Structure 1
Amino acid sequence: MAVFGCSRCGAALTASVVRVALPVQAHHRYGHALLPALMETGTYAVDPEPSGQPWWPWSEVGAQEAAERGVFAPVGALSFGPPGAVAVAPGDTRGTMLIPERCDGYCMGLDGRDGPNLACARCGQAVATRIDDCSYWQVVWLDPRAVRRLPDDGPAPEVADWAALVERERGTPPVEPDGRWSPRWEAAVGAALAHLLVASEGGPVAVPDGVLADTFGRALGALLPSGTPVRQVAPAGPGVPPARPAPDIALVPRHPRTGRSWRPTGAPADVSLPADVWTHMVSPRVRLPVPATGGLPDGVQRDDPLPMRPWSPFRPDSAVFLHTLARLPAVRRPWLREIYDRVRARPYDRPF
């Protein structure tokens, strides 16, 4: 457990929180509506990459220095701010106040364009940036230069093993109640798609029918050639019987607390998905509109609602895809760089 406080005066700025893996959609924007909180209450995550000002354009940074900073393909600009920004839920902040002159935004709230917009209520030091505008996941980013961890004697919750995690994880359905695809799925598939391309080595890839075909199939068909031999993709993980023959690429869960992927699979290559997405992929659970308890009288037939269906084809998030692929050294291979450049030039073409 941790409590973060002001580096200048020591005032507590958060409730007691436990560290979890940084959500894949941390920097994902979606639509023009208000999104929920990025972090669950009582948790925090650390962004290992630099963030915030100053920003330098790719043309001034150059490929060599960018590669030293972990970016291997052209991007618009690179942050030269400090790494280690801490994400917490807005409701977990304590002892902060808004800085009025830094509260600009695009539409419905704050988007952080003016830098840190929260100050320590005790000493006035700028300590964090609250983001709650439309299209953004609501979050408070603590500035690593302005906060420090305070002593916290609270017991840390146990880290669930894979069996316990799968048992209690209900999974995130891929389709929202209004027929839109889930933004969590769009971000998760966008990131995993980048790793799948690397694992494909530029050859054809096949996925099983069902939700995998709906979410990955169209993108793989558009970005990779057809023909033979075809690399087979299949889910693998706790509670999933081993596929026979073993797939060439295994889709495995990533632990939400530790960020580690499930091992071993026996497949030549593994690609991970967030545990909530992976769980629903391998064991979908239908959401009922009202709780169902007890049994039905004899002669009464159930009239459950049909499974939710999307109103459009699935589109992986192109920004998350490009962000992930640019940070994989394999993007420097000519065939993969061609895909990266093509998607970057036209990020809304099929399948995005």
Structure 2
Amino acid sequence: MVVFACAECGAVLTARLSRVALPDHSSQKYGHGLLPALLEPGTYVVDPGDGRPWEPLRPRPEERGVRLLTYSITGPPNRIGIAPGDVRGTVFIPERLGGCCCGWDGQYGPNLACAGCGCPVATRVDDCGFWQVVWLEPEAVRPAAVDGPAQRVMDWTELPSTPPVDSRGFWNPRWEAAVAVALAHLLAASGGERVTVPEGPVAEVLRRSIDSLLPPGPPERHLVLAGPGLPAALADIALVPRHPQTGAAWPCETGAVVPLAADVWTYLAFNDDRRLMPAAYGMPAVVRRDDPPPPLPPSLFRPDGRVFLRALERLAAVRRPWVRGVYDRVRDRPYTDPFS
């Protein structure tokens, strides 16, 4: 386990933490309501970023007496994300807290300073539409090993499961982000050829995207679910779980592997949301009412377009002309199928 301390004065700034994999929805902007914390207490992640240094944008003149934004909110590469409740020994920087709605989004740069020396050390993000998190600036903190129980890495048979529909009856935003990342990997693995997907929930979340992004023609490659608890199957591409702690994909001997967030993969693999038809000839009414059908969202599934683009940017395949063509088309027309 580690704690993070101020690089300037050595003051401890966090609780004891264990590293986990970066969630697919870490960069997601969703709706206008308040979202929960990005991470579980006692964990931290490292965001590799997009490889570009975080610098002030070119200042623009004031318009109607209001200074326009001069900083990017994406931050530098290798920022350390932690749960807001795991922060210690910091104070807000008042001049960097303006311009938000229901909280702070970090648009003016680091907004938390070390209480000991005043050095800016972190950015708290908790505005509406953002997953709540505190990003420690990599140059302003340093890790220090501490005594504590070793992190237990869960077995593949213990993978969590997240339903596709939230409590309001809408598609879960975590599913929209996770499938968007998997879609970027699937696009790269397809080689530009059409891909068939298994019937059922996998087809429900992927087939529309495949039809929209890949060229028309007969399917040339085949996708199957593969992972713990499923029988081995031969296919061109395997959709496998990605471990939520280590970030490792399920080992598979298939030619191409597409990793999917473990909690989404588990639900696709082992949950059957088909509605049961009432049986004839006197099925007791109480039996039909005992297990109500799951809620159905009011629209077709839509992967998160911004998360898809960010995931595609990080893949070497984006340098291929046909992949770059898909990237440019989605970037220039973000509200067309399958993202609308």
Tell me by how many angstroms 1:341 deviates.
Answer: 1.1
Residue 239 of structure 2 corresponds to residue 271 of structure 1: no
Structure 2 equivalent of residue 290 of structure 1: none
Tell me by how many angstroms 1:91 deviates.
Answer: 0.7
- Show CA shifts across 1:75-110 (max 9, x none): xx9999743210000011111111111112431110
Identical aligned residues as a percent: 56
Structure 1 equivalent of residue 247 of structure 2: 259
- Show CA shifts across 1:85-137 (max 9, x none): 10000011111111111112431110101111111112211110000001111
Structure 1 equivalent of residue 29 of structure 2: 29
Relative to the length of structure 1, the TM-score reads 0.84
Residues 1-352 of structure 1 aligned to structure 2 (within 5 Å): 1-49=1-49, 50=51, 53-54=54-55, 82-163=76-157, 165-166=158-159, 169=160, 171-243=161-233, 246-264=234-252, 266-284=253-271, 301=287, 303-352=290-339
Q: Pick closer, same or farther for the CA change 1:185–1:209 going to 2, 3 Å.
A: same
Kept in 1, the 8 Å contact 2:73–2:109? The answer is: no
Kept in 2, the 8 Å contact 1:105–1:112? The answer is: no
CA distance in structure 2 between the aligned counterparts of 1:180 and 1:337, rounded to whole angstroms: 31
Amino acid in structure 1 at the alignment position of 2:245: R
Tell me by how many angstroms 1:143 deviates.
Answer: 0.8
Relative to the length of structure 2, the TM-score reads 0.87
Tell me by how many angstroms 1:305 deviates.
Answer: 1.9
CA distance in structure 1 between the aligned counterparts of 2:290 and 2:105, rounded to whole angstroms: 45
CA distance in structure 2 between the aligned counterparts of 1:307 and 1:80, rounded to whole angstroms: 37
Is there any run of 5+ residues in structure 2 with no aligned partner, and where?
59-70, 274-283
Tell me by how many angstroms 1:7 deviates.
Answer: 1.3
- Show CA shifts across 1:192-248 (max 9, x none): 1111111111111111122111111111011112332431111101111112xx121
Q: Pick closer, same or farther for the CA change 1:51–1:131 going to 2, 3 Å.
A: farther
CA distance in structure 2 between the aligned counterparts of 1:269 and 1:78, rounded to whole angstroms: 36
Kept in 2, the 8 Å contact 1:95–1:120? The answer is: yes
CA distance in structure 1 between the aligned counterparts of 2:72 and 2:120, rounded to whole angstroms: 23
Tell which deviates more after alignment, 314-323 or 302-311. 302-311
SS of the equivalent of 1:26 reads helix
CA distance in structure 2 between the aligned counterparts of 1:150 and 1:326, rounded to whole angstroms: 32
Q: Pick closer, same or farther for the CA change 1:51–1:148 going to 2, 3 Å.
A: farther
SS of the equivalent of 1:279 reads helix
Amino acid in structure 1 at the alignment position of 2:172: S
Structure 1 stretches of 4+ moved >4 Å:
77-82
Kept in 2, the 8 Å contact 1:173–1:284? The answer is: no
